[in-house]
């Protein structure tokens, strides 16, 4: 029988910088990812404020319901559209990082998580002294609206996802994706899937203060049943893959990788956040566990479904 060794927490080896535009605000934004101490978690730091700076931890308790994107808020400071970056951090196994922004929205880049994966790879990753913990789901918790629902239930395969979408547009239609979320799976099957929207809704969204930075360079744009992007789709089912990507980013607001099965039918950010609140508010629905792996196999950097676990004391 192989010995077990604990999996260490992980942060970046070096700082890394990028700049871009906020897809909803339309503002230019500079972002720097920096290494962070063990157990500090994922912290967004808004710089160039009148009071200097303010830190907003990326946690479900700081999430606010906003249309079209995932937003966190603390001390009167909001950071929007964090989901694509959060998904990349989840898949890369980054537990602790400080994210500095000089505006109130993460840059959209090309509308996917792929640029953020490249940033993390360029910065490098380093293991830290403390053990990595995860949240293991102990019973099914489900939230629903009349025509959509989402749930988390127990699983022994790390994080697994089954997600279904259904749109009237024939460019999308009904699509389903299922799989175990490992770093390799995320990189090859999900990371390049872009956000999307309908041309008919653009003017209305802009009047509401959204999509002011959106373009064919950072989103799939659909006109009735036609895709307007010159290069077409990156995957035949890119739309549902992007919804899976979004859900992974939302799930990381639990503050740790998840050992459980996520199911979503026509779900979105608001319903996902309701689910996190229902799960973490129920002490019988989840527990903290330490992540361990066989001593002869190098512990995965990402959220591998092969990781074993043991229960530890703690609270969210």
For residue 63 the two structure tokens come to 């999430």
Please give the DSSP secondary-structure letter assigned to residue 62: G
From 24, 84, 261, 269, active-site residue: 269
Backbone dihedral angles phi then psi of residue 284, each to the nearest 5 degrees: -90, -5
The pairing of beta strand 258-265 with beta strand 133-137: parallel
**End-to-end CA gap in the chain:** 33
Dihedral sign computed on CA atoms, order 12, 74, 272, 267: negative
**Catalytic site residue 269?**
yes
For residue 101 the two structure tokens come to 């922004």
- Closest alpha carbon to 94 in 160, 205, 183: 183
Q: Which residues contact 301 (CB under 8 A, 6 or more apart)?
A: 10, 92, 93, 125, 183
Residues catalogued as catalytic: 269
């Amino acid at each position: 029988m192989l010995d077990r060794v604990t999996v260490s927490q992980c942060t970046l080896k070096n700082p890394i910088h990028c700049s871009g535009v906020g897809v909803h605000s339309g503002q230019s934004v500079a972002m720097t990812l920096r290494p962070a101490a063990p157990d500090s978690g994922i912290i967004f730091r808004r710089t160039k404020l009148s009071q200097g700076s303010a830190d907003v931890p990326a946690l479900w308790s700081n999430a606010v319901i906003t249309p079209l994107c995932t937003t966190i808020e603390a001390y009167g400071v909001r950071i929007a559209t964090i989901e694509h970056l959060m998904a990349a951090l989840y898949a890369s196994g980054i537990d602790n990082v400080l994210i500095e922004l000089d505006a109130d929205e993460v840059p959209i880049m090309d509308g996917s998580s792929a640029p953020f994966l490249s940033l993390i790879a360029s910065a490098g990753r380093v293991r830290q002294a403390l053990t990595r913990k995860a949240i293991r789901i102990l019973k099914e918790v489900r939230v629903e609206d009349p025509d959509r629902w989402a749930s988390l239930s127990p699983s022994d395969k790390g994080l697994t996802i089954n997600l279904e979408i259904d749109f009237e547009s024939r460019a999308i239609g009904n699509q389903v994706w299922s799989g175990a979320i490992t770093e390799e799976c995320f990189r090859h099957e999900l990371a390049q899937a872009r956000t999307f929207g309908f041309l008919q809704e653009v003017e209305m969204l802009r009047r509401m203060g959204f999509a002011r930075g959106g373009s064919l360079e950072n989103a799939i744009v659909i006109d009735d049943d036609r895709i307007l992007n010159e290069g077409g789709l990156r995957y035949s089912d890119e739309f549902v893959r992007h919804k899976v990507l979004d859900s992974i980013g939302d799930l990381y607001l639990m503050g740790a990788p998840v050992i459980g099965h996520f199911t979503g039918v026509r779900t979105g950010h608001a319903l996902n956040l309701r689910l996190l609140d229902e799960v973490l508010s129920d002490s019988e629905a989840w527990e903290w566990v330490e992540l361990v792996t066989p001593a002869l196999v190098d512990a995965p950097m990402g959220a591998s479904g092969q990781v074993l676990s043991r229960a530890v004391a703690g609270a969210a």
